[in-house]
Amino acid sequence: MLTKLLSGDTPRSSLLTVILLIVLVCLAFAPFLFPGTKSLETAARICIFIVLVASYDLLLGYAGIVSFAHTMFFGIGAYGTALALSATGPSYVSLAWGTLAGAVLAAVFALAIGLFSLRVKAIFFAMVTLAVASAFAVLVSQMSWLTGGEDGLNYKIPRELTPAFKLVEEKVLDVRINGKLLAYYLVFFASAFLFLVMLRIVNSPFGRTLKAVRDNAFRAEAIGYRVVWYRTTATVLSAVMAALAGSLLAVWLRYTGPATTLSMEIMIDILLMVVIGGMGTLYGAVLGATLFILAQTYLQNLMGIASEATSAVPFLSTLVAPERWLLWLGVLFVLSVYFFPSGIVGRLRAGRA
């Protein structure tokens, strides 16, 4: 039953299994284990990024396609939901049609880009996605009458998902059971569901074919696979998943803007998370996203503590000053790629043998 849920793709390493279970338990009970707004924000962000990074890995790790338009699809989903909620009011109907419209638009864009440019060399596809994504980001910031421009959109979501809504008057385990909690569990379960769907896709005959296409497209054609169709379908699926992740973010933040969805910085973060976790394995997305976002959120605090503790040592305390956290994030990334060229998951699985 469990194996079937995981589509037969078990972690295949006891240490990896343990780590994944810890992540799952922490995310599932985050509101109770780590009370506080910041930690809940972080947990929701991790859930959403697991989906986003996994959908990128579907493209990069499984199909071997390099795309720079992933944040565009993420943004399309977020703006779809955001615009629907602004235009037709904070109802579940708006939520549903906005999400659907975002996913459909993402699929159409991906199909067009795919059919237009996947026939030719991989580098050309990468350049086209970069161009389209940049153009889209400019378009969104210019069309401020619709998108709010650089300021983005603030909107209301259905009342049951806001802190104002109280499910139970008393606190349970010292935690308020309010709409924010419901919103978190919406994000959590939707992310888990989307992750399992992707896990199924990569272990389906289609997913196996993608790996063959990645390995040797020439031979894949010679045994009868239409490589362009497979690549295009992978692009579309990955775009739809990214758009759905974007919709989750839009609901969670109650705000959608270029900085939270479309920026090149996020694109690079996604790339780093895939590589750190391990390409070609969706579990890598879980570890990559979790570690990266934890580091992004808490490294500064951690360094603040370290800096104070070492304030007596002159050079060291400057080195670990909180404002240098990006430097250390970079160092961590270089080290992880150096020591785990196949990602954390690749390393853990290899260690088993």
Partner 1 sequence: MTKEHPILETRDLTIRFGGHVAVDHVSCSFDRGTLTAIVGPNGAGKTTYFNLISGQLSATSGSVWLNGEAITRLSVPERTDRGIGRAFQLTNLFPTLSVRENVRLVAQAKARKGFDLFSIAESHVELLERADHVLSEVRLIDQAEQLVSALPHGDQRKLEVALLIALGPQVLMFDEPTAGMSVDEVPVILELIQKLKADMDRTILLVEHKMDVIRTLADRIIVLHNGALVADGEPAEVIALPIVQEAYLGKAPAEPAEVA
Stretch that binds partner 1, among 31-39, 44-52, 168-176, 225-233 (CB under 8 A): 225-233
Nearer of residues 1 and 223 to partner 1, judged by Cβ = 223
Give bridge partners of residue 178 from the DSSP assignment. Answer: 166
- Residue for token digits 């570890």? 287
Name the residue among 217, 202, 201 with its Cα closest to residue 281. Answer: 202
Per CB under 8 A, 2 contacts partner 1: no
Nearer of residues 184 and 230 to partner 1, judged by Cβ = 230
Name the residue among 207, 190, 6, 215 with its Cα closest to residue 99. Answer: 190
| Residue 30 Cβ vs partner 1, minimum distance, rounded to whole Å | 30
**Would you state the structure tokens that stand for residue 270, as one six-digit string?**
């996604």
Stretch that binds partner 1, among 82-90, 146-154, 212-220, 256-264 (CB under 8 A): 212-220
The count of chain residues that interact with partner 1, using the rule CB under 8 A, is 29
> DSSP string of 47-81?
HHHHHHHHHHHIIIIIS----S-HHHHHHHHHHHH
| Residue 121 Cβ vs partner 1, minimum distance, rounded to whole Å | 17
Q: State the binding string over 3-32 for partner 1 (x if CB under 8 A, else -).
A: -x--xx------------------------
Per CB under 8 A, 230 contacts partner 1: yes
Per CB under 8 A, 191 contacts partner 1: no
Per CB under 8 A, 219 contacts partner 1: yes
Nearer of residues 151 and 215 to partner 1, judged by Cβ = 215
Give the Cα-Cα-Cα angle 161, 163, 164 (nearest 5 degrees).
100
Per CB under 8 A, 211 contacts partner 1: yes
CB 160: neighbour CB atoms within 10 A? 15
Phi, psi of 175 (to 5 degrees): -120, 135
Nearer of residues 207 and 258 to partner 1, judged by Cβ = 207
Residues 235 and 59: beta-carbon distance below 8 Å: yes
**SS3 at position 231:** helix
Q: Residue 194 and residue 201: Cα distance in Å, rounded? A: 10
- By CB under 8 A, the residues from 265 to 324 that bind partner 1 are none
Stretch that binds partner 1, among 49-57, 77-85, 215-223, 318-326 (CB under 8 A): 215-223
Q: Which of 203, 297, 310, 317 binds partner 1 (CB under 8 A)?
A: 203
Q: Residue 128 and residue 11: Cα distance in Å, rounded? A: 35
Per CB under 8 A, 36 contacts partner 1: no
Nearer of residues 126 and 227 to partner 1, judged by Cβ = 227
Q: Residue 221 and residue 26: Cα distance in Å, rounded? A: 44
Q: Residue 242 and residue 98: Cα distance in Å, rounded? A: 14
Name the residue among 55, 58, 31 with its Cα closest to residue 43. Answer: 31
Stretch that binds partner 1, among 16-24, 46-54, 188-196, 197-205 (CB under 8 A): 197-205
Residues that bind partner 1 (CB under 8 A): 4, 7-8, 200-201, 203-209, 211-212, 215-216, 218-227, 229-230, 233
